[in-house]
């Protein structure tokens, strides 16, 4: 330690900030009125120091005892209570109670070890600072800090206390503060750490170019908790409603578990909308969200025929229960109901593709498992709505009681050794109240006028056993009992000469039962090949023969005459209008047959000649089924149903289905139409089976990854070495970065930029892309139509043209109607701290476009611009 009476080094040490000649600003001429008399002046001497000043330095510490100063050099560090300062140079002045810090310049004048100031959870970096450790006030030059995603750079800062900071010539940005894509620039601002930033007139600067966007003030909340506040609207233009302000309103942070957002839409043609949205969450218990939207949309000009007003609403609710809340019970909800035209006409919903939705559905359910018993119960309410017909179907409520399979003859130790001990018994009760109504009557008192209800009991018993070692026999029996609260009665009315149907209230019921048995086995076949890459094919067959018997329940049916002479009668059941139907007529004595096939192969492994062969799937399924009813009056043999499916190259899915009818078609001499007759087709001069219907679907997807070479050590079977195909489609790799210039000087400039900012994305010139295709077709020939009823090709894809640039499209072609299906084009640009999107639907009734550009950060999410145009008629 060195001590001197008059240390000239201290007096001329460059570590002392030259406040008067500082190019950033002059402390004496500072214009902030609240602290014109600089608070850095020393307090009365009688005031004691609250904390011990701790200091250290890596290179040296020089003390000037007569002048009560200490110089710290090289990774200097000072701690005073909660205040922590590190810098290249620090001067502690005990006479003025100040700490002065700055960085160390190198031979090129570039500073290192810039001061870092930490206090009460905040951290800032600056060029230099003067801090009074008694008053906690400070003057800071070249401030750089980050709070809640907002990077702040200020020229001159006055820290009044822990809760108030004034800054001059300041910029705010959420991008890289050293190379900002954009920033908000203002001459003065007040910062309350952890709470808010309030500025004076603010200008938006893009790529260092000032824009005409000048705001009279700016307010940035910094609180980490949710707070209530104003939601600024988005603005744009709609083809039908004109200019608009959308989704402007107020956000209410009601508590830690629940919030509410109220917004409104205003259009220049007097249309308007209201929206309410809420989310809630209680940790380890439940969470959900709720939204209600109402639109009053005007189209056309009043007084003209094209004028119309559409009043639509939509209600959505989603609720889920945490599995830890109650293992034996759960409550869930998924609700989506409203006007049928809401998604087709709402401007807010124009770009989410929901306008093509034909069905809205909802479900609210509660499930309870009675622990210690074999019973569980579920209670639900369901809703289904056809947006084309505006029909609404409700099941309100629906009750389901189930009993797990019980083995009444099993031994107590649980081991079931024979068929008798394996007999299992199940029981279920289902009760429903169903309503069919229209959208107009949904909220009226007529909604339950045509309600139907009932209850259904099901009891089944089954077992299984082995036959002749290789066969499995599974007999079963079932019993059903149905209860209704009304029944129908029909009688002939001679006055109107027609049958009149009456509904009679009161309890009614019926019972039916059946028995069945099935025998199944599995057969394996192996075909081996020599001197071939295909080593073997394994064929697995699973034949099954089943028999079922159901007696005749015709005693539940009655006859009523349909003419005055009683020469013609109609057979009906009093349960025909019941929600579970009526018991079946006639004896069913049916023998069923099915055969399931799979084909697998084994091929040589080219990647590992000495290793095991690869297993591949040739056909996932090739199945057929049919049945024969011995007691049917006609058409005893049912159609043969065929299904087949496989996957090629682990990319292409192929599925086929068909129905083959063994009976013939003949022309009716009266109507000249073809009719199905109870005669086998081949006996009538036709083929053995007639194909009455068929369908075929396929899908294929591939991407640029499929054409890339495997990385060293990558043993994935999904990827193929197909780089040549990639280059054939998209050209060879000319350069290894996305630099299309050939100017060496530009190359060197880019290299320097990358050295200054190593976080800039490096990009391989092969463009990432993916493409998806799907095709489907349906054929119908049930009555000799011999026509393809539908045939369409759907395709979509995305390609990344360059870092951040992504283009996508989805469309399709209908070969029957000879036109394109719903087509959309997508363009997106990642601008680092900004994002830009353009979605365009160029064709059809839902043609529209939507453009958006805005800041990614949620803190400045209102800094955006969007525009949409929806071209649709009501």
Average pLDDT, the chain: 83
Q: Tell me, what's the pLDDT at 352?
A: 58
740-782: pLDDT as tens digits: 334 444 444 545 555 555 555 544 446 889 999 999 999 999 8
Phi, psi of 470 (to 5 degrees): -110, -10
Topology of domain 8-221 in CATH is: lipopolysaccharide transport protein A fold (2.60.450)
348-407: pLDDT as tens digits: 666 555 666 788 899 999 999 999 999 999 999 999 998 888 889 999 899 999 999 999
The two beta strands, 652-661 and 122-125, are: unpaired
Tell me the C-alpha distance between 203 and 172, whole Å.
10
Q: Tell me, what's the pLDDT at 359?
A: 85
Q: Domain residue spans in the chain?
A: 8-221, 464-638
Tell me the C-alpha distance between 873 and 110, whole Å.
65
Q: Evaluate if residue 16 carries a pLDDT over 60.
A: no
Q: Does the N-terminal peptide bond of residue 397 adopt cis geometry, omega within 30 degrees of 0?
A: yes
Q: Are 454 and 432 in contact (CB under 8 A)?
A: yes
Q: Mind giving me the DSSP string for 774-813?
A: EEEEEEE-TTS--EEEEEEEEEEEEEEEETTEEEEEEEEE
Q: Model-level pTM?
A: 0.68
Q: Evaluate if residue 254 carries a pLDDT over 80.
A: yes
Percentages helix, strand, coil for the chain (3-state, rounded to 5) are 5, 55, 40
Taking alpha carbons only, the member of 339, 336, 333 closest to residue 318 is 333
Residue 791 makes CB contacts below 8 A (sequence gap 6+) with 776, 777, 778, 814, 815, 816
Residue 611 tokens read as 């290793």
Q: Evaluate if residue 459 carries a pLDDT over 60.
A: yes
599-624: pLDDT as tens digits: 999 888 776 666 677 888 899 999 99
Q: Tell me, what's the pLDDT at 21?
A: 37
């Amino acid at each position: 330690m060195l001590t001197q009476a008059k240390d000239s080094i201290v007096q001329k040490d460059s570590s002392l900030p030259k406040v008067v000649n500082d190019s950033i600003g002059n402390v004496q001429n500072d214009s902030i009125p609240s602290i014109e008399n600089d608070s850095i002046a020393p307090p009365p001497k009688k005031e004691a120091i609250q904390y011990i000043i701790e200091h250290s330095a890596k290179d040296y510490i020089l003390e000037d005892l007569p002048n009560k100063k200490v110089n710290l050099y090289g990774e200097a560090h000072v701690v005073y209570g909660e205040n922590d300062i590190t810098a290249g140079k620090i001067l502690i002045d005990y006479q003025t109670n100040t700490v002065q810090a700055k960085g160390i310049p190198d031979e090129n004048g570039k500073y290192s070890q810039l001061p870092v100031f930490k206090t009460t959870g905040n951290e800032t970096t600056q060029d230099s600072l003067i801090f009074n450790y008694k008053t906690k006030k400070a003057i800071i030059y070249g401030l750089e800090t980050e709070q809640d995603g907002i990077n702040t750079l200020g020229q001159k800062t006055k820290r009044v206390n822990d809760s108030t900071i004034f800054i001059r010539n300041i910029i705010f940005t959420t991008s890289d503060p050293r190379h900002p894509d954009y920033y908000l620039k203002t001459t003065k601002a007040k910062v309350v750490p952890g709470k808010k930033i309030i500025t004076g007139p603010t200008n938006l600067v893009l790529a260092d170019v000032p824009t005409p966007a000048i705001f009279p003030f700016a307010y940035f909340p910094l609180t980490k908790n949710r707070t209530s506040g104003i939601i600024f609207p988005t603005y744009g233009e709609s083809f039908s409603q004109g200019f608009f302000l959308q989704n402007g309103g107020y956000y209410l942070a009601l508590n830690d578990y629940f919030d509410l957002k109220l917004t409104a839409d205003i259009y220049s043609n007097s249309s308007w909308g209201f929206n309410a949205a809420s989310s809630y969450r209680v940790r380890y218990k439940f969470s959900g969200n709720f939204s209600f939207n109402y639109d009053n949309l005007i189209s056309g000009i009043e007084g003209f025929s094209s004028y119309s007003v559409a009043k639509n609403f939509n209600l959505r609710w989603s609720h889920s229960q945490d599995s830890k809340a109650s293992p034996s019970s759960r409550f869930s909800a998924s609700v989506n109901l409203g006007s049928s035209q809401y998604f087709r006409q709402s401007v807010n919903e124009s770009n989410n593709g929901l306008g093509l939705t034909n069905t809205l559905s909802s479900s609210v359910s509660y499930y309870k498992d009675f622990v210690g018993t074999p019973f569980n119960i579920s209670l639900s309410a369901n809703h289904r709505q056809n947006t084309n017909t505006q029909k609404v179907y409700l099941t309100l409520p629906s009750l389901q009681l189930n009993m797990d399979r019980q083995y009444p003859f099993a031994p107590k130790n649980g081991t079931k050794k024979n068929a008798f001990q394996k007999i299992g018994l199940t029981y279920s009760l289902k009760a429903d109240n169903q309503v069919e109504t229209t959208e107009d009557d949904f909220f009226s008192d007529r909604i339950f006028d045509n309600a139907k209800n009932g209850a259904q009991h099901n009891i089944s018993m089954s077992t299984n056993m082995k036959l002749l070692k290789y066969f499995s026999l599974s007999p079963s029996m079932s019993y059903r009992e149905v209860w209704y609260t009304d029944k129908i009665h029909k009688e002939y009315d001679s006055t109107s000469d027609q049958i009149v149907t009456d509904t009679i209230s009161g309890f009614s019921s019926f019972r039916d039962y059946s028995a069945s048995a099935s025998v199944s086995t599995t057969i394996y076949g192996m075909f081996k090949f020599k001197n071939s890459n295909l080593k073997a094919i394994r064929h697995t067959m699973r034949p099954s023969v089943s028999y079922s018997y159901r007696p005749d329940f015709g005693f539940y049916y009655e006859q009523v005459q349909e003419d005055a002479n009683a020469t013609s009668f109609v057979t009906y059941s009093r349960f025909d209008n019941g929600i579970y139907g009526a018991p079946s007529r006639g004896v069913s004595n049916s023998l069923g047959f099915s055969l399931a096939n799979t084909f697998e192969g084994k091929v040589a492994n080219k990647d590992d000649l000495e290793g095991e062969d690869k297993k591949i799937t040739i056909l996932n399924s090739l199945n057929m089924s049919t049945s024969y009813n011995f007691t049917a009056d006609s058409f005893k043999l049912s159609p043969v149903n065929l299904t087949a499916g496989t996957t090629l190259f682990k990319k292409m899915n192929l599925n086929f289905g068909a129905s083959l009818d063994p009976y013939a078609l003949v022309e009716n001499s009266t109507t000249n139409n073809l009719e199905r007759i109870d005669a086998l087709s081949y006996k009538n001069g036709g083929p053995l089976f007639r194909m009455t219907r068929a369908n075929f679907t396929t899908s294929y997807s591939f991407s640029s990854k499929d054409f890339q070479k495997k990385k060293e050590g990558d043993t994935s079977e999904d990827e193929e070495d197909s780089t040549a195909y990639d280059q054939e489609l998209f050209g060879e790799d000319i350069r290894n970065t996305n630099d299309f210039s050939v100017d060496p000087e530009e190359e060197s400039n880019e290299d320097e930029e990358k050295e200054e900012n190593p976080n800039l994305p490096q990009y391989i010139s092969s463009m990432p892309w993916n493409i998806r295709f799907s095709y489907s077709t349906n054929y119908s020939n049930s009555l000799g139509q011999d026509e393809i009823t539908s045939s369409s090709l759907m395709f979509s894809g995305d390609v990344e043209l360059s870092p951040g640039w992504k283009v996508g499209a989805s469309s399709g072609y209908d070969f029957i109607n000879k036109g394109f299906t719903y087509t959309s084009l997508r363009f997106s640009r990642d601008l680092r701290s900004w994002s830009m999107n353009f979605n365009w639907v160029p064709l059809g009734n839902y043609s529209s476009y939507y453009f958006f550009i805005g800041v990614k950060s949620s803190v400045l999410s209102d800094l955006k611009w969007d525009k949409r145009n929806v071209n649709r008629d009501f």
